[in-house]
Chains A and B, each alone.
Chain A
Amino acid sequence: MPNKETLLEWYRQMTLIRQFEEKCHALYWDKRITGVYMHLYSGHEAIGVGAVAALREDDHAITSYRDHGIALARGIDPKPLMAEMMGKKTGISGGKGGSMHLASREHNFWGGYAIVAGHLPLAAGIALESRYNDKDAVVLCLLGDGASNNGYFHEALNMSAIWDLPVIWLIENNGYGMGTAVHRVSGQPELHKKAVAYGMKDLGCVDGQQVLEVYEAVSEAVAYARERGPVMLEAVTYRYSGHGVSDRQYNTRLEDELRDWLENKDPNKLFCQYLQSKYKGIDEQLHQLDLAMHALVEEAVEYAESQPAPTYDDLFTNVYA
């Protein structure tokens, strides 16, 4: 069982992610963040934080375009992340990638990927190096429910299985791929069961709103991957801001569903309640963390806005290594 300090650190991260995402959302509608696509992690916090907490520093994380939360959970400074949202020269990807392509080599965070499921075989390749060089590092590969219907999924899973590659395939099942509900496009809507087709360890399905449950399940998965090979795990969650920030339509169509998740299954609220019942008198400490994260995000925005835009010459950098 993680100690109080660890639990507070998770609370801090989950709060930071929520605040960061809400700020991004506001900045987008304020046109201070430009670009049309930005996919927020609000609602998914317990998965990102719980899963990344189960990793060591030398383990790897890779995810889809819904990547802000993983970047923050991996410990990347919000400043260059916010600068990337604004397309600044000092953004974490030099402004070239934007919201969907946050990545940091020094954090073993291999980034967000806009081509759905395209990162799955890459995750297997990263895991191959671990086997190749007799390391015991593992790769946490997060993917959406929609991605599990793509051909890349099949090939990557099969190869990871036959070569015993240390990958944790973690499906963040938020019920939809854009506007399409899972059961309409997945012959097997219990997504974790897809592992069976590859002879892969199926660790089942967890409540993606409970950070402790996610942490425990992913810890087991990590241990398995380190020792033996690939595993699959599904975490059920919900996206709060539609598919992406520009998709207001989803929210209005799914208003009742969304309200239910917000009121009854919000990961941050649930974890806050858990901490309050476990540690009497912790409220003030939690409140201070809320304020600190608010300030951290504000600082990141201030930093990002003060940063220079890329120049014409920057267009031509990093074309060839």
Chain B
Amino acid sequence: MTVMTLIDAIREAMDEELERDPRVFITGEDVGERGGVFRATQGLHEKYGDTRIVDSPLAELSIVAIGIGAALTDLRPICEIQFADFIHPAFNQIVNEAARFYYRSNGQWHVPLVIRSPYGGGIGGGLYHSQSVEAFFAHVPGLKIVVPSTPYDAKGLLKSAVRDPNPVLFFEPKKGYRAIKGEVPDDDYTIPIGPARIAREGRDLSVFAYGMMAHYTMMAAEKVAREDGIDAEVIDLRTLLPIDKAAILASVKKTGKALIVHEDNLTMGYGAEIAAVLSDEGFEYLDGPVKRYAAPDVPGVPFSHPMQEYFMPNPDKIADAIRDLAAY
């Protein structure tokens, strides 16, 4: 085991996959010599050269679409979108081509593509360097969506994503790149895409979260345990699509209460789907309303520091939401 940061784990996963499979290559803006804006690909260009670590022009649509084309030929592209906020020009390519190719060709072609992108606010990035975009894509069958919160999961899941025959969107909580540290095994391992993880066992209520909010929710759970004696179960969803219904239902069956936390704004967010799953299939288990705690419905994370803080969920706010539901 080695203790490392989230970004180190992501880099190691790519390094090892590049080493393992000559079909794997990386493209994106400044991913080469410069090592990416967040240094996710630092050192890889030196090691693997121009053909496999490819600086692209400023062209998100084509970064993704060239990845799709290459994936169709069975290469294994990892496309980096510098910030999730910039993924929108590639929306058509992801939704209309990547997600539907296998289906519409009746299985003749599949798209083994990974799109990595940092997401999320709280870093002073303002409206266009802070977005959470998972809900736009979680509506699209044919895509897989992964949002890790620990270095261990990030490395294992990214390796699975590279090996997966489907298009995988891999959203990384940029605020946690260096802030989140954890143990990572030294040998090759993968974590399957799909299953959620019980991050903390508890009896009183279940909290569902992913990415940075899973990290914050763990802090909030410890806080309410300490201060209020509330025993919250924390489920780190890790994979958003496909959704791990079994894990969600099993947890609520045990606790009887559910809180969903995400950093994306509330309305039509990913939490709505979990609430619907619980309403459809977990009604019998519920001892209270399914609650969501999410960012407010405004068009983005504003620049101004105090407004950003009003916008962002944080461990204290999540702890309050846990207390409210526990008291129901």
Chain A interface (Cβ < 8 Å from any Cβ of B): 34-37, 87-88, 91, 93-101, 114-117, 146-147, 149-152, 177-180, 184-186, 309-312, 314-316, 319
Contact = CB atoms under 8 A, between A and B. Distances in A.
B58 A147 contact: yes
Given A95-B303, A98-B304, A149 B125 contact: no
B267 to A, nearest CB: 12
Given A98-B303, A184-B55, A34 B127 contact: no
A37 B129 contact: yes
Nearest to A317: B298
Given A98-B304, A149-B58, A180-B29, A114 B128 contact: yes
Given A87-B304, A151-B89, A184-B55, A35 B296 contact: no
Contact of A314 (B33, B55, B128, B307): B307
A114 B127 contact: yes
A293 B236 CA distance: 54
Given A96-B304, A100-B128, A151-B62, 15 more contacts: A36-B123, A95-B307, A96-B302, A97-B303, A98-B126, A98-B303, A98-B304, A149-B59, A150-B89, A178-B37, A180-B29, A312-B310, A315-B307, A315-B310, A315-B311
A116 B128 CA distance: 11
B204 interface: no
Given A178-B30, A315-B302, A185 B56 contact: yes
Interface in B49-96: 55-59, 61-62, 85-86, 88-89
A177 B57 CA distance: 9
Contacts of B298: 315-316, 319
Contact of A310 (B89, B297, B304): B304
B185 to A, nearest CB: 32
A66 to B, nearest CB: 14
Contacts of B85: 114-115
Highest count of chain A CB atoms <10 Å: which of B30, B37, B305, B306 = B306
B34 interface: yes
A178 B34 contact: yes
Contacts of B304: 87-88, 91, 94-96, 98, 309-310
Contact of B307 (A101, A147, A184, A310): A310
Contacts of B307: 87, 95-96, 310, 314-315
Contact of B58 (A37, A117, A311): A117
A314 B307 CA distance: 8
Nearest to B125: A36
B299 interface: yes
A319 B267 CA distance: 14
A319 B58 contact: no
Contact of B129 (A36, A147, A179, A180): A36
A228 to B, nearest CB: 30
B64 to A, nearest CB: 12
Contacts of B289: none
